[in-house]
Structure 1
Amino acid sequence: MAEQLSFDLPAKTALGREDFFVSPANALAVAMISASSWPGNKLVLTGPAGSGKTHLAHVWAGETGGRIINAHDLRYDAVPDLATGPIAVEDVPFVADNLEKQKALFHLHNLTLAEGHTLLMTGRLAPRFWEMPLPDLQSRIQGAHHVALDPPDDALLCAVLAKLFVDRQLSPKPEVISYLVNHMDRRFDTAAQVVERLDRVALAEKRTITRALAIRLLNDDTL
């Protein structure tokens, strides 16, 4: 049997539609992203870290010709250019402590919709918890249609783990993924951490990623 080799290569995240696994946990969000129109031309997409918000934003941008910007990178003087087409603003709640970024987003929201384009905003929690100190911005966010990515079911967690391994050019045995699905914390960010640690340990020890290594990793926090 050929030995699986591990190389210290940067993980390349695949963000195409064909790379996104649809399950009952995310089917509604996928349908909304693919809808031809949204109520009021705006949508809030939420979900825990690693749940696929960025992936879906890229799918949406690819299908609409839209652009994606992180809320931290917003500048008031850049708004007129950003509002010339569909725009996605990621991690909006992370600028709740930055009034200038909020003003830029408020301006972007109003100008984008006035120009007849669509606005996608993402965050981890439901919009009512974003608590933007700029009240006009918070009210407009809460006025957007909201769709959430739910915690992963078995099929989705299995697909997420498989994709994380593929992104790192790794091919573990199927029993490795099955074991992880049944024994790890059912969180997307945990899945990313587990795969990263398995990759690192396998590389350091010059070994393949096996079920035994997965068992060892989940039971040894020092790895």
Structure 2
Amino acid sequence: MPVQMKFDLPVRPALGRGDFYVTESNAVALGLVDTWPNWPNGKLVLVGPRGSGKTHLAHVWCAESGGRMVAARNLTDADVPSLAEAPICVEDVERIAGDTLAEEALFHLHNLVLANGHSMLLTATRAPTSWGLQLPDLASRMAGTTVAKMSLPDDLLLSAVLAKLFADRQIVPMADVIPYLVRWMPRSFEAAGRVVTHLDTEALGTPKGVTRTLARTALADLEFPEESASD
């Protein structure tokens, strides 16, 4: 029997507007992002669990607003005046809490972007009051920013996300795989990413590809806590 070889092909996530699935768990956040020309004070914080689609929605916003994206931790090496010449999305802002140079860079970027009449989108896993920012002026400006929350996924959204993650890897699972995963896996976008990545590896060389049996084994291999799975 021929041996199937594994090639480390890049995963190409689909990040367009049409690939963003809307359900009750993210509809409010999407609605707030869509109103970006009218954001109070020209800024919005997008909050949600890791893997909840914040980056995807940020890409959608950048495409519609003509904005750019930058990781908060990279601001110390960035050309802040140049970034402030267009709408800007700053990702993972809470990661720079306590980093004096990064906080100062974000403070200057915030002021320049708004002074130039552009919009600013910021992403994080928690609300600004929980970031632990040390620069008082920055902390007060962030605390006064409107927050859009993305919730943990409902069944419909988790199913769509799993389908998207499989499609990003050019995997077509058996029809009963996604319903099984939604029933038994943790209700987490991060968990969905781990499961699909694991199945991508484990399905290599198996004649039937990703099956329910393989999915059951994957959940056991990944050792998710029982309390995080669906009842």
- Pick the TM interval, shorter chain: over 0.9
SS for the counterpart of 2:111 is helix
Aligned residue in 2 for 1:147: 148
Aligned residue in 2 for 1:42: 43
Aligned residue in 2 for 1:174: 175
- The 2-side partners of 1:121 and 1:80 are apart by 17
Aligned residue in 1 for 2:227: none
Matches within 5 A, 1:3-152: 8-35=8-35, 36-75=37-76, 78-152=79-153
Residue type of the partner of 1:196? T
- The 2-side partners of 1:114 and 1:135 are apart by 20
- The 1-side partners of 2:207 and 2:79 are apart by 49
- The 1-side partners of 2:6 and 2:16 are apart by 25
- The 2-side partners of 1:6 and 1:51 are apart by 29
Deviations 1:180-220 (A, max 9, x none): 00000111100000000001101165650011111122123
Residue type of the partner of 2:106? L
Q: Which runs of 5+ in 2 are unaligned?
A: 224-231
- Identical aligned residues as a percent: 51
* CA shift for structure 1 position 88: 0.5
After superposing the two structures, state which structure 1 stretch, 129-138 or 67-76, moved more.
Answer: 67-76
CA contact (8 A) 2:47 2:150 kept: yes
Rate the CA distance shift 1:160–1:106 in 2: closer, same or farther, 3 A. Answer: same
- The 1-side partners of 2:164 and 2:78 are apart by 38
CA contact (8 A) 1:6 1:206 kept: no
TM-score normalised by the chain length of structure 1: 0.93
CA contact (8 A) 2:158 2:187 kept: yes
Residue type of the partner of 1:135? P
CA contact (8 A) 1:20 1:55 kept: yes
CA contact (8 A) 1:76 1:104 kept: no
Give the length in aligned residue pairs.
218
- The 2-side partners of 1:65 and 1:221 are apart by 40
After superposing the two structures, state which structure 1 stretch, 14-23 or 30-39, moved more.
Answer: 30-39
CA contact (8 A) 2:113 2:120 kept: yes
CA contact (8 A) 1:69 1:89 kept: yes
* CA shift for structure 1 position 8: 4.3
* CA shift for structure 1 position 16: 0.3
CA contact (8 A) 2:96 2:103 kept: yes
Query: Once superposed, what is the RMSD of the aligned Cα atoms?
Result: 1.7
Q: Which runs of 5+ in 1 are unaligned?
A: none
CA contact (8 A) 1:90 1:123 kept: yes
Residue type of the partner of 1:13? P
1:208 aligned onto 2:185: no
* Runs of 4 or more above 6 Å deviation: none
